[in-house]
Structure 1
Amino acid sequence: MNAAMENILTRRSVRSFEEKEIPREELEQIAKAAIYAPSGQNKQTWKITVVTDRDKIQTLAKAVGKALGREGYDMYSPQVLVIPSNDRNNHHSQDDNACAMENIMLAAHSFGIGSVWINQVRDVCDTPEVRSILGEWEIPDSHVIFGIAALGYAKGPVNQNPEKTGPVHFVD
């Protein structure tokens, strides 16, 4: 199996992170992977925001938790958030951001960094408190967030689930 396939087939969601800093150089490569994702009609209307300040991460987590009515919500206490946002008027934005998220997670895995997709922000990114925080991070009001990649080194072993199967049909 080649390295790319091994990376894809062994990546798993990580929901418990060590308190260990991720090197800036690796975060830069992860962000670069995000902007190299496919985009519909090559519009590339996204912005990638990397948040490394854990206090700021928890401020966002608390605001999201409050908006969702989930006290104690902490986004799994990651070391870093990578946030692809996209122009809400681009009808490809959700698809584009999904591609960017996959690249982020695969790039992180290639460095031995765990990740999990945080989808709750999608539903509350326009609430006043959450939008205020996003604005402080220079995420435009015209942008929507469909998912956030929470990153960190896995605390403990990552379960490798049984081989995944599903319907695949070749038409020859």
Structure 2
Amino acid sequence: MTNNETLKAIKNRRSIRKFKENQITKEELNAIIQSAIYAPTGHNDQPWHFTVIQNKEVLNKISEVANESMKNSEIGWISKLGSKNRPLFYNAPTVVIVSGKEGAYSPLTDCSAAIQNMLIAAESLNIGSLWNGLVSYFFENKEEAKILNLKEGYKPYYAVALGYKDCEQPVAPERNEDVFTYIL
């Protein structure tokens, strides 16, 4: 079982926060996006839309707007992070906004499954990834969010930053193994 490539990708995947400048290839991006649409969904609804951003100016604008909004958060660590004005996506050259269809049966769950597929696919290609929820602070500014021309009837949930890793693979934190109950 330990030689299984899928299990290796799952266990080795880490959130990457340092990316090289060069863009991932179209083939790599397509493979990652294709893996997303093969995620399971409730009632095979497939209630998602993916907005791929590779424009550095747009990515910088998202960071700027999100950081300003984060500064006003009542959650201490978020306001502190926003005050640092760091790039939201750690300079990743590709970011995918994952949106779910409003009124669908389980869009948040389905989009989360799609994101996990993307993260594992990226790891299998030795591409770094980061699941980013702080992008929601950008979407609080409806006027600024218009620059993304998001599909109508869909709500943006998360972003996935993608790029070649510019750091050592982080060590996995210990896992709590006392989380299983077997009923035999």
Per-residue deviation, 1:25: 0.5
Aligned partners of 1:34 and 1:48 also within 8 Å: no
- Name the counterpart of 1:74: 87
- Name the counterpart of 1:90: 104
Aligned partners of 1:131 and 1:141 also within 8 Å: no
Per-residue deviation, 1:130: 3.8
Secondary structure of the residue aligned to 1:63 is: helix
Aligned partners of 1:118 and 1:149 also within 8 Å: yes
> 2 CA distance for matches of 1:38 and 1:87?
15
What amino acid is the match of 1:147? Y
Aligned partners of 1:22 and 1:152 also within 8 Å: yes
Secondary structure of the residue aligned to 1:44 is: coil
- Name the counterpart of 1:121: 135
Cα–Cα, structure 1 residues 36 and 105, in superposed 2: closer, same or farther, change >3 Å?
same
Task: State the Cα RMSD in Å.
Answer: 1.7
Per-residue deviation, 1:109: 0.6
Report runs of 4+ in structure 1 exceeding 3 Å deviation.
Answer: none
Cα–Cα, structure 1 residues 110 and 17, in superposed 2: closer, same or farther, change >3 Å?
same
Residue deviations 1:69-95 (CA, integer Å, cap 9, x gap): 325241211110012111122241110
Cα–Cα, structure 1 residues 119 and 99, in superposed 2: closer, same or farther, change >3 Å?
same
Instruction: Specify which of 120, 128, 136 is matched with residue 106 of structure 1.
Output: 120
Secondary structure of the residue aligned to 2:131 is: strand
- Name the counterpart of 1:164: 175
What amino acid is the match of 1:101? I
- Name the counterpart of 1:51: 53
- TM-score where L is the length of structure 2: 0.84
Aligned partners of 1:60 and 1:133 also within 8 Å: no
1:140 counterpart = 2:151: yes
Q: Show structure 2 runs of 5+ residues with no match.
A: 72-81
Cα–Cα, structure 1 residues 46 and 25, in superposed 2: closer, same or farther, change >3 Å?
same
> 2 CA distance for matches of 1:125 and 1:39?
25
Aligned partners of 1:122 and 1:144 also within 8 Å: no
Per-residue deviation, 1:111: 0.7
- Name the counterpart of 1:17: 19
Cα–Cα, structure 1 residues 133 and 67, in superposed 2: closer, same or farther, change >3 Å?
farther
Larger Rg: 2
> 2 CA distance for matches of 1:64 and 1:88?
23
Question: Aligned residue pairs: how many?
Answer: 169
> 1 CA distance for matches of 2:101 and 2:68?
25
